[in-house]
């Protein structure tokens, strides 16, 4: 029998906590493959949540309470993970809201996915069969759907539909590895951070549909503005794709700047200036991509690794030049010269960026 621990973070959830816990026990007690434990991590609730849990502990086996200071959901989870790993060391850990928004009846489905080989199962509101409450106000709907779209495309992982869901089952080895990374995120954004970490460490991710229900008891604890800012900042600072795009812009500035300097100010031959500026931009792009955009897949610092990859990088870059030259010329032949810069921008966005991003990932900064 494998052990699974369900972590329920609580802050003033006295109205729902008993029902959640008894429902979890009812659903899981017959399961022959899993010994299910429950850990309530309470951040100093003032409404009697802890007293209620302490009462339940007297009746139910494998139920524990961890008391923490109120320092954010991420902090509460990390403390819960650490205690779980130290004391129980289970095979699997669940994250689940304690306000009845997440239906305990879904737990067996998560377990099935793990038995079938998944490392990280997400309860998704945005795949077929999943849903968000109908009565959510329009701004909440836009916020939730919009944030997920930004994250999905910011990380170039559109196949993962729900990045912010708090109903998940994650294998312990992954959580153990992720703790040093997620420790830095004390708020709700830690959910995005742990999933991003799992993907970058080649975890097998799967999603099952959940119907998210609105809370009936208590109040929401989420600070939406802070959450939006932290989420966008996280994506911006951690997405290879966004960094790669920025490196492209820096390359363009370097290329243009050097060309301008050598042609206009120093009066060098145009071909020599262009050669110098493009190659400088290629070298800087190569280094910035290696040490920044794709730093989690950084090349081994050996000449025998750098040289062939640098040549490949030059080759891909020459491909970009060729595609742009031919593409802009073709567009101009078809539609006239007037809007050449629009064609160039469109070609860069829709052809050059995907072309180079895909080739860099496939041939230079490969997944390890």
Ligand X SMILES: Nc1nc2c(ncn2[C@@H]2O[C@H](COP(=O)(O)OP(=O)(O)OP(=O)(O)O)[C@@H](O)[C@H]2O)c(=O)[nH]1
The residues binding ligand X (CB under 6 A) are: 9-11, 13, 41-43, 70, 72-73, 76, 97-99, 101, 166, 215, 220-222
Of residues 140 and 157, the one with the C-beta less far from Mg ion: 140
CB 172 to ligand X: min, Å: 20
Of residues 76 and 347, the one with the C-beta less far from ligand X: 76
Rounded to whole angstroms, the Cα distance separating 147 from 151 reads 6
Q: Point out which residues pair with 95 in neighbouring strands.
A: 7, 168
CB 29 to ligand X: min, Å: 23
CB 162 to ligand X: min, Å: 12
Of residues 200 and 221, the one with the C-beta less far from ligand X: 221
Rounded to whole angstroms, the Cα distance separating 124 from 212 reads 9
Q: Where are the beta strands (DSSP E) in the chain?
A: 2-10, 34-42, 63-67, 92-95, 120-124, 168-171, 205-209
CB 21 to ligand X: min, Å: 12
Q: Is 97 in the site for Mg ion (CB under 5 A)?
A: yes
Half-sphere exposure of 339 (CA within 13 A, CB side): 8
CB 215 to Mg ion: min, Å: 5
Rounded to whole angstroms, the Cα distance separating 194 from 182 reads 6
Q: Which does 73 bind (CB under 5 to 8 A by kind): Mg ion, ligand X, none?
A: ligand X
Q: Is 99 in the site for Mg ion (CB under 5 A)?
A: yes
CB 144 to Mg ion: min, Å: 12
On whether the CB atoms of residues 49 and 10 are closer than 8 A, the answer is yes
Of residues 90 and 166, the one with the C-beta less far from Mg ion: 166
The total of other beta-carbon atoms located within 10 Å of residue 157's CB is 17
On whether the CB atoms of residues 107 and 24 are closer than 8 A, the answer is yes
Smallest CA-to-CA distance from 103 within 80, 81, 123, 120 is with 123
Of residues 175 and 328, the one with the C-beta less far from ligand X: 175
The total of other beta-carbon atoms located within 10 Å of residue 158's CB is 9
Q: Which does 41 bind (CB under 5 to 8 A by kind): ligand X, Mg ion, none?
A: ligand X
Burial status of residue 209 (CB atoms within 10 A of its CB: 0-12, 13-18, 19 or more):
middle
Rounded to whole angstroms, the Cα distance separating 48 from 65 reads 13
- String of contacts with Mg ion for each residue 194-223, x by CB under 5 A: ---------------------x--------
Among 10, 49, 101, 172, binds Mg ion (CB under 5 A): 101
Which residue's Cβ lies closest to ligand X?
220
Q: Is 255 in the site for Mg ion (CB under 5 A)?
A: no
Of residues 62 and 221, the one with the C-beta less far from ligand X: 221
Of residues 116 and 220, the one with the C-beta less far from ligand X: 220
Q: Which does 70 bind (CB under 5 to 8 A by kind): ligand X, Mg ion, none?
A: ligand X
CB 73 to ligand X: min, Å: 4
Q: Point out which residues pair with 38 in neighbouring strands.
A: 6, 63
Q: Is 95 in the site for Mg ion (CB under 5 A)?
A: no
CB 83 to ligand X: min, Å: 13
Q: Is 119 in the site for Mg ion (CB under 5 A)?
A: no
Q: Is 13 in the site for Mg ion (CB under 5 A)?
A: no
Q: Point out which residues pair with 156 in neighbouring strands.
A: none
Rounded to whole angstroms, the Cα distance separating 341 from 203 reads 42
Measured in Å, how far apart are the chain's first and last C-alpha atoms? 33
Of residues 14 and 331, the one with the C-beta less far from ligand X: 14
Q: CA-CA distances (angstroms) from residue 365 to 160, 190, 360?
A: 22, 26, 6
Rounded to whole angstroms, the Cα distance separating 112 from 61 reads 24
Binding site for Mg ion (CB under 5 A): 97, 99, 101, 215
């Amino acid at each position: 029998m494998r052990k699974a621990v369900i972590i329920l973070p609580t802050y003033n959830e006295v109205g729902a906590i008993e029902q959640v816990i008894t429902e979890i026990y009812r659903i899981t007690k017959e399961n022959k493959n899993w010994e299910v434990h429950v850990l309530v991590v309470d951040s100093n609730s003032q409404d009697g949540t802890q007293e209620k849990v302490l009462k339940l502990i007297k009746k139910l086996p494998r139920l524990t309470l961890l008391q923490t200071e109120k320092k954010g959901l991420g902090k509460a989870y990390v403390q819960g993970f650490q205690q779980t790993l130290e004391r129980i060391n289970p095979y699997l850990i669940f994250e689940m809201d304690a306000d009845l928004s997440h239906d305990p009846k879904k737990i067996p489905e998560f377990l099935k996915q793990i038995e079938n080989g998944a490392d990280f199962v997400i309860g998704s509101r945005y795949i077929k069969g999943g849903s968000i409450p109908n009565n959510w106000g329009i701004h909440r709907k836009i916020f939730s759907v919009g944030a997920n779209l930004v994250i999905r495309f910011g990380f170039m992982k559109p196949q993962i539909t729900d990045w912010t869901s708090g109903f998940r089952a994650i294998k312990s080895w992954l959580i153990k590895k992720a703790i040093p990374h997620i420790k830095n995120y004390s708020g709700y954004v830690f959910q995005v951070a742990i999933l991003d970490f799992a993907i970058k460490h080649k975890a097998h991710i799967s999603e099952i549909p959940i119907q998210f229900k609105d809370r009936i008891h208590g109040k929401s604890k989420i600070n939406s503005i802070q959450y939006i800012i932290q989420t966008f900042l996280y994506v911006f600072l951690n997405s290879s794709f966004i960094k790669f795009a920025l490196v492209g812009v820096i390359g363009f500035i370097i290329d243009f700047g050097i060309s301008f300097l050598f042609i206009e100010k120093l009066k060098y031959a145009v071909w020599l200036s262009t050669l110098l500026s493009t190659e400088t931009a290629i070298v800087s792009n190569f280094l910035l991509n290696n040490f920044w955009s794709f730093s989690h897949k950084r090349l081994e610092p050996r000449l025998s690794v750098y040289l062939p990859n640098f040549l490949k990088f030059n080759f891909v870059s020459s491909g970009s030049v060729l595609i742009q030259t031919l593409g802009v010329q073709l567009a101009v032949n078809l539609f006239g010269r007037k809007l050449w810069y629009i064609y160039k921008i469109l070609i860069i966005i829709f052809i050059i960026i995907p072309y180079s991003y895909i080739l860099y990932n496939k041939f230079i900064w490969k997944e390890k």
